[in-house]
Amino acid sequence: MRISLTLADRSAFVSEADGRVDGYIVAQPGSPLHLPPAHDERRIGLIDDFVADPFGHQAAMLVDTAEKAFVARGVDTTLAICPADPAEKKAVLSSCGYRATNLWMVKPRSPR
């Protein structure tokens, strides 16, 4: 995160309550690492996770703020990546108009 904050192509936003930070989100450009070759990465912004405590309205405000940063950069699509089965994050993103478009599945190896 320390290096990420020095890059001019991304923005970090925090939310606070009672004088303490209670959430953050990073708005960064899409990259070939995150997108299939058929997509124009210059037109896609990436939210690679976000945190808010408590979730709900505060998290939705952070997502909205990141989207506004993308619009200011001429980005017209936002991709939000979430860790496996984050029910609260799915609910927030759904309430902001996001829908699932990709599913990655993992099968851990059994110990031998």
Residue 59 falls inside a structural domain: yes
Residue 105 falls inside a structural domain: no
Q: According to the model, what pLDDT value does residue 46 have?
A: 92
Q: According to the model, what pLDDT value does residue 84 have?
A: 61
Q: Note down the domain range covering 45.
A: 4-95
13-27, 46-60, 62-76: the lowest-pLDDT one = 46-60
Residue 75's CB: how many other CB atoms inside 10 A? 19
Residue range 2-52, pLDDT digits in tens:
777 778 888 899 998 888 898 999 999 988 787 777 777 888 899 988 988
The amino acid occupying position 76 is D
Is residue 67 pLDDT above 90, yes or no? Answer: yes
Residue 111 falls inside a structural domain: no
Average pLDDT over residues 79-96: 84
Q: According to the model, what pLDDT value does residue 59 have?
A: 92
User: Residue 23 sits in a domain of what CATH number?
Assistant: 3.40.630.30
Residue 102 falls inside a structural domain: no
pTM of the model: 0.82
Q: How many domains does the chain have?
A: 1
* Burial environment of residue 47 by CB neighbours within 10 A (0 to 12, 13 to 18, 19 or more): buried
Q: Residue ranges of the alpha helices (H) in the chain?
A: 57-72, 87-95
d(CA 111, CA 54): 37
DSSP class of 105: -
Residue 101 falls inside a structural domain: no
Of all residues in the chain, what percent carry a pLDDT higher than 70? 94
Helices vs. strands in the chain: H and E counts, helices first: 2, 4
Task: Give the chain's mean pLDDT.
Answer: 85
Tokens 């599945």 belong to 105
